[in-house]
A and B are shown apart, each in its own frame.
Chain A
């Protein structure tokens, strides 16, 4: 966590205090202290001891989705730096196991991440394209759902659980402004979110690499 904090401090210094007075524009993002972003994309996670244990216990993967979504709200704190509250969907997998007689047992987990991010903008000759680096820390939660039968005649019982952990997110992106206040963005990076966890202490890394595209809006009035 220490390196994340240091990187964040460096980013703030680099952008707020030493952001290249030669290239900095006095009207960069003028009148745009607030922002909203919506995006979607694709992500990929690796297998893990957690998944292998499920397979050892007779589960086979029914489906997994690489779909990722992001929602973020931002507030510019100085000319080239903004703070975001960001929400990401992460890994989502479904498993099934033959229960012998009747409907199969099933297990599903869906992981979400949210946190505070710092985004450093790189000065560009004009405002049409903007590049940025982003780093964030926060919480991640895996919603797990096990459906199994506890007696021969009863229907399956569902056991839901929410498991919490942290996440560290790093992204690089570019934003192309289609108007003064609206842009389209493309970013990609890596999320580390070690959740869910089983009773053996094995964790699945629900983050992994991701690529997102979306729309952003910048608005507000500076004083």
Chain B
């Protein structure tokens, strides 16, 4: 996967309204990309719920979080609404997994590996973390350590 010091790759994801979200959107802000395997799956639910609980702290640190999965936009929106979370979701549905592959976090099983990537305002990767296995949930403390 991408590592600290590398420029973030070119990619194109879809926002909830279908508009593209690209590398250009990373510039000028500190971004935390939260790659997760599947909307509605148990560990992903716990992960996004936990991070959302401390969203104000991320904001206070100047960081903006995005959830990234290969689910369709409609599925992500339903997931977000069901949980009642504020973290914006970005879809890597079509072409499936292309952005995940660009970041080096595409699992052979056809979904994003559980991974975290922090990109600085200059578009360079500041920190990245890949869970040993998809069922491992990285604590929010790890992200704060890296910010």
Same complex for A and B? Answer: no
